Structure 1
Amino acid sequence: MILIETPIGKFNVWTKRIGSNPQIKLLLLHGGPGGTHEFFECFESFLSNEGIEFYYYDQLGSFFSDTPSDTSLWTVERFVDEVEQVRKGLELNKDNFYLLGHSWGGILALEYAFSYQSNLKGLIISSMMSSASDYVKYAENVLAKGLDPKVLKAIKDLEANNDCQNPKYMELLTPNFYYKHVCRLQPWPEVINRAFSHLNNDIYTLMQGPSEFGLSGLLKDWDRKGDLSKIQVPTLMIGATFDTMDPEHMQWMATQVKQGSVLICPKGSHCSMWDDQEYYFAGLIKFIKNVNNNEKCDSPVSV
């Protein structure tokens, strides 16, 4: 546990180290908001044998960490400060510190880089676009239109009636959306179901919103497209063909940062670390080792 300070007091957040390598230390930022480190459990099967030390970490409000109820805590700025406190607690520095953020964790990783990139050796954004409005457009114009019209209407009716807690909502979303765009493995790995069962829905709904077809919570106006050029450290953008995030936007993001490369997983979805593992991890490992050896990173990353 790492003790962090917040505007309303001190709390404990949980971390766990896997492996040992003083030259490569990778901190994982899970999605949600309100998700858990469990989505990253497959990293052990691929990174441990490659000499990459990495850290599980449940953000404040998530799973093994303290879960205060004060909603004033759930801001991007406070989460960024939390990540910096965790970095200091783990004694990570610019010579060895790699940061990977998945989904909401990608927003958090980007925001951390804007404030503290001098602490980073490398940055990885996994399945996260740089604009909430662009994400909403992609969700409405591409993802939603890929659904059966009757299914989409039933989902939209439930959302319009603020009835997303109705069991019918998940009954519609799971086979028609989640199995196509969140994780394409059938059946889902046990850990995916377990991780979803541990989601802090209060934080998720407050920041993301209840709908899976866009952002309507506190993050609805988030946009960093115009600031990507400020990121100077080597950065890998990971997307996937069937992702909830637009893979073309992920490719574009890689052209906007100073030292960008991109990896688009051809068989993957939002959780391509699960449903396109060989491609995902081959590219991720190559990127980290290239940066560690001060070698130029290909764009796109070839595997």
Structure 2
Amino acid sequence: MSEIKVIEGEVSIDIPAAGKPCKTWYKIFGDLKSGVRPLVAVHGGPGCPHYYLLSLTDLAASHDIPLVLYDQVGTGQSTHLPEKMGDITFWTEELFLDELDNLLQHLGIQEDYALLGHSWGGMLIARHAASQPKGLKQLVLHSAPADMGSWIEAQNMFRLTLPQDVRDILKKHKDAGTMESKEYQAAVQVFYQHYNCRLNPWPEDLVAAFAGLEEDPTVYFTVNGPSEFYITGPLKDWTIVKDAHKIHVPTLLLNGRYDEAQDSVVAPFFREIPKIKWVTFAESAHVAHLEERERYMQVVGSFLTS
């Protein structure tokens, strides 16, 4: 990475309801003026900071693709608003879409850019793409659900594959409303080891991202809920199935064989988006960019430079 130009910065974002100045933190790997279309990577969670996407800097090194990583407001190194815990009128999809537009404008790349979104980030950029912004040229949807009803069905199916004692702990704390307990979170970690990341131990970047989420779970708890399979926030009703056909740019759809985003969860994208290619990573769960890093970069890099 020593040969790649790296710039770190912040951009102010106007959020009147926040009651205080807010900023979006970002980091650029490569030269946005190189003539190569930049890639903006959008993290998941919601509320899981960018650290676990740092491996995407491989694309800057191997394919000369300028890469932009950023933390969504409420996350990582951007402005935090723990006082907005539980406020579903504040943490809206529109807030994060406006933030993305604001960042693109600030960086001056709004006329020509590609987007990669992982999980929740993929949901967000799918909505962005469906509005048909003129500068968006390519889209990578990585382990992103097209409909949260299908996602919840898949997680409930996966939960039944867990050891009985783990399932008992999950049910006990759900019934008692004690899902913030360490015992419950340890049981959730067993689920993650099967269907989020199958590497053991987990890469440091992924550990750091989950630590960031644990440090401030405001966005995740409000928008999603206590866990991947107990969704109580407004995300439970999210869908883009009826609007996916409006995505007209070339799209790469990715998921893993053991992914939380199972085939049934991502398939509507494949059916509805006119120009789309689907690749499933045979040895991966939810983070193929870490689990099958070399092949992932080859697949994504070839798509973006073709």
**TM-score (norm: length of structure 1):** 0.90
CA distance in 2, matches of 1:73, 1:18: 31
- Are 2:67 and 1:51 aligned? no
CA distance in 1, matches of 2:174, 2:133: 39
Which position in structure 1 is the counterpart of 2:11?
2
**Structure 1 residues 84 and 36: CA distance shift in structure 2, 3 A:** same
**Structure 1 residues 194 and 276: CA distance shift in structure 2, 3 A:** same
Structure 1 residue runs without a partner (length 5+): 291-303
CA distance in 1, matches of 2:67, 2:132: 19
CA distance in 2, matches of 1:216, 1:182: 20
Which position in structure 2 is the counterpart of 1:30?
43
- Are 2:96 and 1:87 aligned? no
Q: Pick from 46, 54, 73: which aligns with 2:90?
A: 73
**TM-score (norm: length of structure 2):** 0.89
Which position in structure 2 is the counterpart of 1:272?
288
Give the superposition deviation at 1:284: 0.7
8 Å Cα contact 1:117-1:233 kept in structure 2: no
Which position in structure 1 is the counterpart of 2:6?
none
8 Å Cα contact 2:188-2:227 kept in structure 1: no
- Are 2:204 and 1:190 aligned? yes
CA distance in 2, matches of 1:10, 1:168: 37
Query: What pairs with 1:1-303 in structure 2 (closer than 5 Å)?
Result: 1-8=10-17, 10-20=21-31, 21-68=34-81, 69-70=83-84, 71=87, 72-94=89-111, 96-141=112-157, 143-174=158-189, 176-199=190-213, 200-290=216-306
CA distance in 2, matches of 1:212, 1:117: 31
8 Å Cα contact 1:17-1:53 kept in structure 2: yes
1:225-254 CA-to-partner distances (Å, cap 9, x unmatched) read 121111111111111101111124424422
Structure 2 residue runs without a partner (length 5+): 1-9
Bigger mean CA offset, 19-28 vs 258-267:
19-28
CA distance in 1, matches of 2:80, 2:132: 26
Q: Which secondary structure does the structure 2 equivalent of 1:225 belong to?
A: coil
Identical residues among aligned pairs (%): 28
CA distance in 1, matches of 2:172, 2:135: 47
Give the superposition deviation at 1:52: 0.4
AA partner of residue 130 (structure 1)? A
8 Å Cα contact 1:127-1:270 kept in structure 2: yes
Give the superposition deviation at 1:39: 1.0
Give the superposition deviation at 1:78: 1.4
RMSD between aligned alpha carbons? 1.6
The alignment of Structure 1 onto Structure 2 pairs a total of residues equal to: 287
Q: Which secondary structure does the structure 2 equivalent of 1:47 belong to?
A: helix
**Structure 1 residues 99 and 46: CA distance shift in structure 2, 3 A:** closer
**Structure 1 residues 214 and 113: CA distance shift in structure 2, 3 A:** farther
Q: Which secondary structure does the structure 1 equivalent of 2:25 belong to?
A: strand
Give the superposition deviation at 1:150: 3.0
8 Å Cα contact 2:169-2:183 kept in structure 1: no
8 Å Cα contact 2:126-2:141 kept in structure 1: yes
Q: Which secondary structure does the structure 1 equivalent of 2:124 belong to?
A: helix
